[in-house]
Structure 1
Amino acid sequence: MIIAFMVVLSTVNAQDFQGVATYKTHRDFDIKMDSTKMNDAMQKQMMEMMKKQFQKTYTLTFDKSSSLYQQEAELDKPQVGGGFQMSFGNSESDVFYKNIKDKNYVDQKETMGKKFLIKDSISPIVWKLESDTKHIGEYMCFKATYTKEVPKNKFDFKSNSNVDEENEEEEEPEMIERTITAWYTPQIPVSNGPAKYQGLPGLILEIHDGKLTIICSRIVINPEEKVDIEVPEKGKEVTQKEYNDIMDKKSKEMMERYAPRKGSKSGEGIFISIGG
C-alpha cells in the first residue's frame, strides 16, 4: 500500500503530469402535475424525461495548475410528445476552463442559442477539513465542508398560480443556509475538482451541494493520448455578474410568457421546482 502510494506521488510530481477524471452528476427535482390535464402515461413520460435530463456525464482533464471540464456527448435528448425538447443547465458545447495557479476561470457557454465567454476570478472557498474518511474506488478520501447562503429555489416554473400581474411586486428571493460536502484524495495532490469546486489538498472526487450530487467514476493518470488544456475563446465576453443578470432577465421573460392568463383557474398546469 505504501509502495503504491509512493508510485502515485512520483507520477503526479512528473513534469508532464496529466489526468482525466470522469464524473456522473445527478440533480433531484420536484414536479407536480394537474391530473385533469395530463394522464398517468404522460406524467410517467414527463418524469422519465426530467430524470434523464438531470443525469449527465462530464470529464475533467487536469494537470498541476489548470483543467477543462466538459459534458460528454449524448446520443439523444429527452423529448416530450411532438418532438418538443426540454433543456436545463449546461450544453454539450460548454467548456469550463480553470487555472488554480492564476486563480481565474473562463466558462464558454451556449445559452438560448447564444454563445457567451464568461471570464472571472475564482472565488476562494473556506473549507473545513473533517476527520471522516472513506474509499472511492482505490482512493482514500477525506471529508471537507463549507457553508454558504443560496436562494431557496434557483428555478421555479409555475403555470398554476393565479396572480394579478398588474399588482404583483417583485420580491427578493428567500435565502437559506446550505452546507456543501466534498470528498477529496491526497493521493492525487492537485487542488482541483469538477466545475467550480476546488481549493482542497487533493483532487475532489465527490460533491454533495443541495440537490446536486457529483461522483467520480473513473480516473486515468497520464493517459496515452495527451489532451491540450487550452483556454476557450468563442462567445461574447462577459463577467459572471453580467451573465447572471442576462439569465435573470431571460428567466423573467419566460415566466411572463408562460404565466396563466387572467381568468384561468387556480391549480391548472405544471409546477416544477429545481433547487440549487
Structure 2
Amino acid sequence: MKKLVLLFTLLLSVAASAQQEGIVHYTRTTYWTKMINQLTFLSKQEKERNAYMWGGRDDWKEYMVLYFNDKSSKYTYSDEKPAESSGYDWRKEQYVVKRDFEKNTMVDIIEMVGKTYIIEDSLGTQNWKIMNDLKDVAGHICMKAMKEDTVKKQKIVAWFAQDIPSNIGPERSYGLPGMILALDINDGTVTIEASRIENKKLTQELDLPKKMKGTKLTETAYEKMLDKFIKEKIKEERNPYWMIRY
C-alpha cells in the first residue's frame, strides 16, 4: 500500500513538473440574452436595441490563450477566429493581462470606452472561498472556489486544478492553489473554460510590447473609473457592457 501511495505521489510530481510552461486555450462565451435580462435598469429602447443586435443567437464565443511558466503569465486573445464570424474578422479590442509572480507585479493593457489604459500595480490578494465541489475540466479534476467582484456586482465561480501547481488563471483572476481552468460569471452569463493545455517551451510569448501606449492607472484608480462609468450608464438606462468587459 505504501508503495502505491509513493508511486501515485511520484506520478503527480512528474505531471506537475511537466506543466510548468506552456499554453492554455480557453473558450469565452457571452450569453447576451441572459445578461440583458439581468440588467433590470435598461430602458425599453435599450432592450429592443439589444434584442435586435443578437436576435435568436444567444451566445457569442471568443478564443483566448494563457501563456505561462513558473514565474509569470500572459492572457490575451487567440488568433483563432470564432465560428460566428462567417469570414468577417471583428476588430478585437486590446486586452492583455500580465502577471509576474516573482516580482509580485501586474501590467494590464485594456482598451475600453474608446481609450487604452495600462494598469500597473503590485499584485493584491483576491478573496476566494474554496468549496468542496469537484468537476472535470480539460481532463483535470478541479475544485470550486468563489469570490465577488464588488465593482461590477458579479458572483465569480472558479474551477482550479491542484495537479497544476500554479496560482494563475484567465481574465484577471488568480491566487488559488492550482491553475484556474474555468470561470463562471453571474450564474453562466459569461463562461470561460479551458479546452486544452499545451506543454511547450515558450520564447517571446510572455513578453509585453516594447512600446505601450495608453493612460497609466493604478488598480484603485482603474476600479474607481469603472465604478463611475457603470453608475453613469445605469442612470442613462443603458448597457455598460457594450463598452467594458463583463
Judge same fold: TM > 0.5, yes or no.
yes
- 1:185-208 per-residue CA deviation (whole Å, 9 max, x = no partner) reads 122111111122111111111112
CA contact (8 A) 1:116 1:234 kept: no
Residues 252 and 140 of structure 1: CA distance in aligned 2, closer, same or farther (over 3 Å): closer
The yes-or-no answer on 1:215 pairing with 2:164 is: no
CA contact (8 A) 1:115 1:234 kept: no
Pick 1 or 2: higher relative contact order, CA cutoff 8 A, min separation 6. Answer: 1
2:29 counterpart letter in structure 1: H
Find 2:66's aligned residue among 60, 66, 69: 60
Find 2:177's aligned residue among 201, 222, 231: 201
Find 1:10's aligned residue among 17, 34, 49: 17
Find 1:229's aligned residue among 206, 225, 229: 206
Question: What is the percentage of aligned positions where both structures have the same residue?
Answer: 25
2:30 counterpart letter in structure 1: R
Larger radius of gyration: 1
2:27 counterpart letter in structure 1: K
Cα drift, residue 215 of structure 1: 1.0
2:170 counterpart letter in structure 1: P
The yes-or-no answer on 1:20 pairing with 2:23 is: yes
CA contact (8 A) 1:70 1:92 kept: no
Length, aligned pairs only: 220
Q: Within 2, Cα distance between the matches of 1:115 and 1:196? A: 17
Structure (1 or 2) with the greater helix fraction = 2
CA contact (8 A) 1:190 1:202 kept: yes
Deviation larger for 116-125 or 184-193: 116-125
Residues 38 and 92 of structure 1: CA distance in aligned 2, closer, same or farther (over 3 Å): closer
Q: Within 2, Cα distance between the matches of 1:245 and 1:200? A: 25
Q: State the partner residue of 1:126.
A: 127
1:200 counterpart letter in structure 2: L
Q: Within 1, Cα distance between the matches of 2:96 and 2:204? A: 14
2:54 counterpart letter in structure 1: M
Q: Within 2, Cα distance between the matches of 1:250 and 1:38? A: 22
Cα drift, residue 34 of structure 1: 5.7
2:219 counterpart letter in structure 1: Q
Q: Within 1, Cα distance between the matches of 2:228 and 2:171? A: 24
Cα RMSD for the two superposed structures: 4.0
Structure 2, unaligned stretches of length 5 or more? 1-6
Q: State the partner residue of 1:186.
A: 162
Residues 18 and 38 of structure 1: CA distance in aligned 2, closer, same or farther (over 3 Å): closer
Residues 231 and 133 of structure 1: CA distance in aligned 2, closer, same or farther (over 3 Å): same
- 1:162-212 per-residue CA deviation (whole Å, 9 max, x = no partner) reads xxxxxxxxxxxxxx6x64322111221111111221111111111123233
Q: State the partner residue of 2:117.
A: 116
Instruction: For 1:85-164, list aligned pairs within 5 A.
Output: 91-146=92-147, 148=148, 150=150, 154=152
Q: State the partner residue of 1:163.
A: none
Cα drift, residue 106 of structure 1: 0.6
Q: Within 2, Cα distance between the matches of 1:49 and 1:73? A: 23
1:150 counterpart letter in structure 2: T
- 1:120-155 per-residue CA deviation (whole Å, 9 max, x = no partner) reads 222202333333222223212122233x3635xx4x
- 1:40-66 per-residue CA deviation (whole Å, 9 max, x = no partner) reads xx94553357743xx321100011121
2:135 counterpart letter in structure 1: K
Q: Within 2, Cα distance between the matches of 1:126 and 1:250? A: 24
Q: Within 2, Cα distance between the matches of 1:24 and 1:238? A: 28
1:66 counterpart letter in structure 2: S
TM-score (norm 2): 0.69
CA contact (8 A) 1:65 1:99 kept: yes
SS in 2 for 1:234: coil
